Structure formats: structure tokens, C-alpha cells
Structure 1
């Protein structure tokens, strides 16, 4: 049954025939219309969109995401706009909250929590993807297109409006899955676009944060640090941007390495008044640094805080297990490894370290079973580690005799 809400889906796409059906199917019974702007597909993307009930329009790509997104807004009929990309899906459980919040007469923008599936860093982000269809709310910035700039300008003129957020995860983003991660060529194209924006906005903190993070991805650590530090000099800083600047600086100083500076920036990031779920990886990275430095007590606190924020944070269970094992709490470590495996049955490292601690307490049978599982999983995804385990003299003898 179609939900009774005046809500339009608005998308820009290009060559997304594989991902688009999953995206549109996640919202087709939630919105009143689906507007899809194709920017030059050479595959069946437009036909698939039409087949799923979308209104399809066309726009020549001009290397500017905001220009394309603003073109798509011209065709929107609903009072509210939901923006998705083809590699995203809306979570069904969030729909009642969306239904409720857009009944408000005060909100101009609702920020949504997005889960970054498969991301090695920052598993959650806050994105401005649900907003009122207002003539003064449009996208800006050629690469990281967003409506935030126009919303802030509107708030200074029309003070009746408010910006809100939904605290629960609203969408899943699959752009970090194997095979979907941006190629270096794509990263360099993003770099060119953002550097062009930076040339005319040299101290703009948001682009300093995003481009600084991109420099880190490209291995240009010193250039990243210079830009991230520049972002911190802005007169006014949104707390979410301030969090990102310090978080990226923590990542950068790890690579130098300057562990004291990395710890300082993670701690400063954690102090920012942003949604706790956005701080998850800062807590985890801080825990990793403290554990490596031998400060197991505070590492434990960091991991436990991360798990309080997200009880399904698999890496947190694994890292806390490693910490408690180092502290001599073997039974607790075993329970944590098992919890990590329960959430992610393909967690080879958790099986591997479960095997180690089982051997430490003398449970040879369960140790062997855990090691066999670890080797089998490593053979699929990390054959070098699988071979290293098979070549280990003590382990190979243990496996051969049992």
C-alpha cells in the first residue's frame, strides 16, 4: 500500500542498471513519485527506471553534480524531497519516522543517518537528503553536492524554519563494497573538481575537510595535514565539520606516525556535540592507538563506549576481545570473539584469535576447529595469510595430528 505522504524521490543516475532496481524498490511504495534524471547512460538504466514506475528525464553531464541535481528538482511535484543515489537503499523501519517528521510545519531539512556498508573507516555518516521542496533550497558545490549552504542562508532570512534529524539509520550505502570502491582515476577526478572549488574558496572548512580526507586516500599525508589544519582556522565551524577535521587529522598523524597528535585529535573529535553514532570510528581508532601503546585500561573504555553506541559493531567486539585477552581475561575474550563471529560469520581474524586463546586455555579441539575456519575464510579473501598459518610449524603439527 502506498503511504499517504506528499514525498518525491529525486535521483541523478548514469549507467546504473545493476544497482537501480534495488534502490527504487526500496522506496516505490513509500513516495508519491520517483524522479530520475539520466546524465548520459549507455546501458538500460532509463528503461529500467521507467519499468519500475519512475519519471525519467535527461540532462547532459557537465562535470557538476549540483547542476544535475538542481535540474532534477525542476521536475519534482511533492512538498518534500528524498534524495538517493543508485547505490543506496532506504531502510523500511525508518519510514514511520519519515512519515511523522514531514508533517511538521517548522522543518525545512531533516538530516538522515547513512550506514556505509563495507567501509573501513567511518561506518556511519549524516547526510542532508530529506528536505522541503522550497524554491530557495537548492544544491551547491560541484562535487559534494548538498543543500546545506542554501538552507543556512534561508534560515537567516526566514527564522521560522528548523533543521532536524532522525537518529536511527535511514539508509544503506553500498559504495564501499568490493568492486564498488572508487578507482584511483575517479579519486583524481574528484580531486580536480574539489581543488577547483578550493581555488575560489581557499579557507572553506567543509572543502578543506573533504579534500583533506581525499589527499589521505591518495597517500599525500603532509598535504592533507596542511589543508585540514587550514580548515580549523575558519572563524565559524559547524560542529560536524569540526568533528571531521579532527577525525581526519587523527588518521593523518597515524600515518606519519605521530601517535600523541593522533590521540589528541581523536579525543578532540569525540568531544564534539555530534550524534554519538558518528563518533564510532573515532572511538575505535583511539582504542587501537591506546592498545598499541600498552594503555589497555583506556583502550578497553574506548571500545566499550563504541559498543554502547552500536551493539552490532563487529570490529568493536573483536578489538575489545584482543584487549581483554592481552589483559589475561581469556573467557571474556572468547565470548567477545564469538559475538563478533555471530554478527559476521565470515570474520576470519576473529576465528583465528579464538583459536589462539582456546589453545591458551587448553581447549585443543575448539582451537583446531577455529583455526580451520580461519584458514578456510582466509583462503577465499587473504590467501597469503592462509598460507602463513599453514606454514606455521606448531599449527601445522597441531592440525596434522588432530
Structure 2
């Protein structure tokens, strides 16, 4: 079994080395299609041993990805973007799946690094080098439709997925989105596709979510509802449609409708880790509506799914603090800080609870750490917190 990495890139000199370093000893071949870089991207790819090909960009990701596929010679294909890395722990499982006889495609769990909303997704990035597999859709290009068509004709194949995070993605952090003008590019491309595919559930989900994120809430909700009407048993897409409607109704302060959509999303039969965002957002809404026990249960469920979810530990700490469960709150904040050492808000609230239970020195230490971290990103809060400590006679 030979495994080929297949990528399309443009001006990725800053991120490409980390990406290729994560796979250079895993794959047997690296195919990189450069779509017009003006930096050292092609040179970096060649330094790692990649075969680099040039492509004139045509504003269609699927055409570019299908062109890259033509150069692949391996039995299996792994698709990554330059702002993604493969996790070392998934490699043995990935190779075992590719060595099996039954799989046509294996879905991988991708984690959005630093994300607080919907931190996990399931992506179709590992598949057999089958002549009929191709990417479709000009943005968020997928092979899923072609795989479904193959399965109807060749029912001996199966679709599988690997448990555990396989891909780390840094591209949806706010700085990366702003720097690369991602929202504007995505909107233009998806609107073009929607014009000829007005009821495609996937594009309704992605473009609807983008509209909500950029403040076009009415347009976004119309698309998301249209997607639900058109979506049948594509449960991962249906989850995203309900999830983003929950966000939209929250923005409109229609909390009961938001709760209904999150609860609907949670009930869908999909991989549990994908539900993390819905559980977390549901907890926040239940807390805001005064249902503290319901919120506590939602956060606890999220943490059962992913014990490494730092935001979940912090949110559970806030609930425990409100319920005067101070020992539990301290433990939650400490877990959040262990997982995310630069978590200023967790240090700050840890300081508050330590003070409530009489641990003055521990409280001062937590507050000082919060101030140091706030000074880097929120100097006004650092100043306010420092002034509050002076007024309490703690410094």
C-alpha cells in the first residue's frame, strides 16, 4: 500500500514547512499543485521532496484538486491544506485503515486549533485512488458525492472513520481569516455555486453559516432553513444546519428557538465529538435562562465527550461558582488552565473563588497570572483588575 499526499497551495511559505514535516515520514509521495505563488512556497515543497506542478487559478477549488489528483500515483490519497498538520498518534490507525480491503474512503476528525465554537469536524480526506473519485463544488470541495455514486455501483466498498483527532487546522483563527480575506473569497465562490444549485444542503449550510457570522442573519437563516428542507439522511450536514440556526437565533436573542435547534442537533446519530459545540452553546443558553442544573449537565456531557475541552472546564467552573460549589469550581478552573496555560479568564475566576474560600495567597497568585496574560491581549482589563486588587488591599 502506497500513500500519496495531495495538496493545492498558494503563498503558503509560512505554514507549509510545519504541514509537510508532519507527513514527510508517513507518505510515500507528495504531490503539490501550486496555483500561482509569489513567495518561496514551491521551493519549500521541493526541499521536502514534493513533486510540484503549476496551475493557473480559475476560482474553483474542485478543478484545482482534481488536477492535483491526476499526478498522484499511490494506492491511497491523503489530502491536506498548508495550514493543517497530521497528528502523530493517528498514523498507525491511518495506515491500518488504508491496508484494509473493505474501505473506499475513511473520514478523519479535524480539530480547529483555538476554536471555541464547533471545534471538531469530520472530513473526507483519506480515500482509495479510485479512477471515479473526484472533487465537486467550487469551495469546500468534497469527494463525497462521487464516493456515493461509486458505492451504488460497487457495493463491496465501505466508508469508515478513525477515532481520535487526525488533523489540526489553524486556518479559522480570526487573524488568519482577516489576513487571507477568507470570508469574502468564500462568499463570492459559494454564491456562484448556489445560483445553479439553490437547494444543495451543504452549500446552504456553509454559506448560511458565513452569512450569520458576518451579520447577514436573515439571509443566513433563510439558507439554513432551506437546507434543512432539502436535507434527508445526511446527518452531519443536518447537524451543522441546526447548529448554525442555534447561533442565528441566539444572535437575535430568541433563546428558546436556539435551544430547540441545539437539542435537535444533539439528538442526531453522528460521531459524538462533533456535537461538542452544540452541547457547549446549549449550556450557555440554559445558564442565561436560569436553568443552572441543565447548563451544568450540558457542560458535563461535553466534557465526557472530550475531557481535553478547556472551554468546557471553564464554563463548568462558572456554573459551579454560581451554585456556590467552590471546591468543584476551583478544580474546573485548574483543569482549564492545565489544558490552556494562557487562559486569562480562568486564572481570574480562579482568583475570585480562591478568595471566597479564604485561600488569599493562592488568590493573589491567580490574579497576578491573570493580569500578566490580560496585559498581552486586553490591557484595559489588566488595569481594572490591578486597581481592584489595590482597593481590596491585596497588593
TM-score in terms of structure 1 length:
0.96
Secondary structure of 2:131's aligned partner: coil
1:397 matched to 2:380? The reply is: no
Shift of 1:178: 5.5
Secondary structure of 2:118's aligned partner: coil
Query: Match of 2:237?
Result: 241
Cα distance in 2, alignment partners of residues 116 and 186 from structure 1: 15
1:379 matched to 2:375? The reply is: yes
Query: Match of 2:97?
Result: 101
Residue 296 (structure 2) aligned to one of 300, 303, 310:
300
Secondary structure of 1:153's aligned partner: helix
Mean CA deviation greater in 379-388 or 250-259: 379-388
Q: Which runs of 5+ in 1 are unaligned?
A: none
Cα distance in 1, alignment partners of residues 7 and 208 from structure 2: 27
Secondary structure of 1:166's aligned partner: strand
Query: Match of 2:279?
Result: 283
The equivalences for 1:195-206 within 5 A come to: 195-206=191-202
Secondary structure of 1:115's aligned partner: strand
Query: Match of 1:118?
Result: 114
Shift of 1:31: 0.8
Query: Match of 1:140?
Result: 136
8 A contact 2:201–2:231 mirrored in 1: no
Cα distance in 2, alignment partners of residues 163 and 200 from structure 1: 29
Query: Match of 2:209?
Result: 213
The equivalences for 1:3-402 within 5 A come to: 5-177=1-173, 179-182=175-178, 185-234=181-230, 236-392=232-388, 395-398=389-392, 400-402=393-395
Shift of 1:368: 1.5
Cα distance in 1, alignment partners of residues 206 and 299 from structure 2: 26
Cα distance in 2, alignment partners of residues 76 and 184 from structure 1: 28
8 A contact 1:10–1:73 mirrored in 2: yes
Cα distance in 2, alignment partners of residues 53 and 189 from structure 1: 31
Q: How many pairs does the alignment contain?
A: 395
Cα distance in 2, alignment partners of residues 47 and 247 from structure 1: 41
8 A contact 2:364–2:394 mirrored in 1: no
Cα distance in 1, alignment partners of residues 109 and 83 from structure 2: 15
| 1:131–1:63 distance in 2 versus 1, CA, 3 Å | same
Cα distance in 1, alignment partners of residues 14 and 188 from structure 2: 28
Secondary structure of 2:109's aligned partner: strand
Residues 40-77 of structure 1, C-alpha deviations (whole Å, 9 max, x = no match): 11011111111111011110001000010000001000
Shift of 1:223: 1.1
Cα distance in 2, alignment partners of residues 75 and 401 from structure 1: 66
| 1:32–1:289 distance in 2 versus 1, CA, 3 Å | same
8 A contact 2:231–2:238 mirrored in 1: no
Cα distance in 2, alignment partners of residues 146 and 86 from structure 1: 17
8 A contact 2:104–2:128 mirrored in 1: yes
Shift of 1:166: 0.5
Residues 253-288 of structure 1, C-alpha deviations (whole Å, 9 max, x = no match): 000010000000000000011111111111011001
Shift of 1:385: 1.4
Shift of 1:212: 0.6
Cα distance in 2, alignment partners of residues 35 and 63 from structure 1: 20
